[in-house]
Amino acid sequence: MAASSSSSTVEPGAQADFESLEQAANWFALLHADGGSSEHRGAWAAWLAERPEHRRAWAHVEAVSRRFAPLRSESQGERDAAAAAVHVSATRSASRRHVLGCLAALAGTGLAGWLAWRFTPLPARVIAWRSDYRTGVGERRDVQLADGTRVWLNTNSAFDAHYDDTKRVLTLTMGEMLIDTARDSQGRAFFVDTPNGRMQALGTRFTVRQSGARTLLAVFDGRVEIRNLAGHVEIVPAGQQRQFTADAIYAPERADPARETWSRGVILADDVTLDALITELDRYQHGHIGVDPSVAGIRVVGRFPADNPGQMLAMLERDLPIRVRRTLPWWVTIEAR
């Protein structure tokens, strides 16, 4: 679903605020469930034009919804109905009860199931398809390489392996992996490459995670040497982690045990904020989970199942003063109880 080009212009690089995102999600639900009237259409257009944040929020909700595009063919009538929904809206004064009623209607028409299709964004899949080993969103994989090295791939991750007579090289193309290197009978060095540089394992167990423009290395046994593209070199001992970019290597930190426990299906919260924990959970599922700023700073300690995001949210809701609200099957908000 897309708003008209005249009303959906979004400033490059800008982000929507939490309140606008939640408003946009509620409106999205109503847009797809309401029959559509000129009054509703005008109200929606007025809201959209009020603030740039509204337009950014609307664009974000649409982008998330596209991840759930149907993987089955539609009839022309269904396509026409989806196109017509672009022009439907709801009054700003609609009550929460009306929103829930519209969601019930949405489920009744089958559109809720239509939106709930789990669909990995195409760019990420293209990268993964080119790699030797890969996982989808919410999947993990345990790989035994030819030399006996063991590699665990986290959710939505991929790597290539290249062995020759002089060296063993793994290239992390996406996501995160935990490596337990094996002693090589030929004495070949073991390297891991990312877009920011090269790491050399010195008989060790370590995690490498690529996140945006940064690489995170966490060492749990042995030592690992970092050499970034700028030529800076650091040796990271067991119990430490370092982040680095192509230009810089950042100060040492205590190795986060959560960077290892995911290989056993556990999301570990070691006195982290709720916002940070949900950011981690979000890697394991499609859709959107937003955290109200009023509860984002709550500190959390616990162990949670990576394979069951719904159960994890239920555990948090049971133990913390929060409420989990589902505006759409793929849009979840965590707010104060």
Residue 11: its pLDDT value, please? 43
Residue 74 confidence (pLDDT) above 60: no
Ranking 102-116, 140-154, 248-262, 283-297 by mean pLDDT, the lowest is: 102-116
Residue 203: its pLDDT value, please? 80
Residue 143: its pLDDT value, please? 97
Residue 33 confidence (pLDDT) above 70: no
* Per-residue model confidence as pLDDT tens digits over 229-254: 999 999 999 999 999 999 999 999 99
Q: Are 82 and 131 in contact (CB under 8 A)?
A: no
Q: Which of 12-16, 80-84, 320-324 has the highest mean pLDDT?
A: 320-324
Look at residue 306 and give its three-state secondary structure: coil
Q: How far apart are CA 127 and CA 293, in angstroms?
A: 34
* Per-residue model confidence as pLDDT tens digits over 41-61: 566 667 777 777 887 776 767
Residue 207 confidence (pLDDT) above 70: yes
Structure tokens at 210: 């690529």
Domains of the chain: 18-115 (no CATH), 122-260 (2.60.120.1440), 265-336 (3.55.50.30)
Strand partners, 237: 223
Q: How far apart are CA 141 and CA 108, in angstroms?
A: 37
Q: Which of 27-41, 115-129, 160-174 has the highest mean pLDDT?
A: 160-174
Residue 42: its pLDDT value, please? 64
Nearest 5°: phi and psi at 75?
-75, 165
First-to-last CA distance in the chain?
Answer: 32
Query: Average pLDDT, whole number, for the chain?
Result: 78
Helices assigned H by DSSP within the chain? 18-33, 38-50, 52-66, 76-84, 96-109, 111-115, 122-129, 258-261, 274-281, 309-319
Residue 190: its pLDDT value, please? 97
Residue 107: its pLDDT value, please? 40
Q: Kindly provide the b/e burial profile for residues 293-304, where b requires at least 16 CB atoms within 10 angstroms of the residue's own CB.
A: eebeebebebeb
Q: Which of 38-42, 313-317, 327-331 has the highest mean pLDDT?
A: 313-317
* Per-residue model confidence as pLDDT tens digits over 261-320: 999 999 999 999 999 999 999 899 888 888 999 999 999 999 999 999 999 999 999 999
Q: Are 281 and 309 in contact (CB under 8 A)?
A: yes
Q: Are 46 and 76 in contact (CB under 8 A)?
A: no
Instruction: Identify the band that residue 32 occupies on the pLDDT scale cut at 50, 70 and 90.
Output: low
Instruction: Identify the band that residue 9 occupies on the pLDDT scale cut at 50, 70 and 90.
Output: very low
Percent above pLDDT 70 for the chain: 68
* Per-residue model confidence as pLDDT tens digits over 156-200: 999 999 999 999 999 999 999 999 999 998 999 999 999 999 999
- What number of CA atoms fall less than 13 Å from residue 267's CA on the CB side? 25
Residue 236: C-alpha distances to residues 188, 253, 328 (Å): 20, 10, 44
Q: How far apart are CA 159 and CA 267, in angstroms?
A: 22
Residue 148 confidence (pLDDT) above 50: yes
Tell me, yes or no, if the pTM score tops 0.85: no
Residue 103: its pLDDT value, please? 42
Percent above pLDDT 90 for the chain: 52
Look at residue 133 and give its three-state secondary structure: strand
Residue 198 falls in which region: left (phi positive, over 0), alpha (psi -120 to 50) or beta: beta
Q: What's the average model confidence in pLDDT over 76-96?
A: 36
Q: Are 8 and 2 in contact (CB under 8 A)?
A: yes
Q: Which of 75-79, 118-122, 166-170 has the highest mean pLDDT?
A: 166-170
Farthest CA pair distance, the chain: 75
Structure tokens at 317: 């809701």
Neighbours of 149 (CB within 10 A): 20
Q: How far apart are CA 222 and CA 70, in angstroms?
A: 47
Q: How far apart are CA 111 and CA 158, in angstroms?
A: 33
Q: How far apart are CA 214 and CA 233, in angstroms?
A: 16
Residue 13 confidence (pLDDT) above 70: no
Instruction: Identify the band that residue 82 occupies on the pLDDT scale cut at 50, 70 and 90.
Output: very low
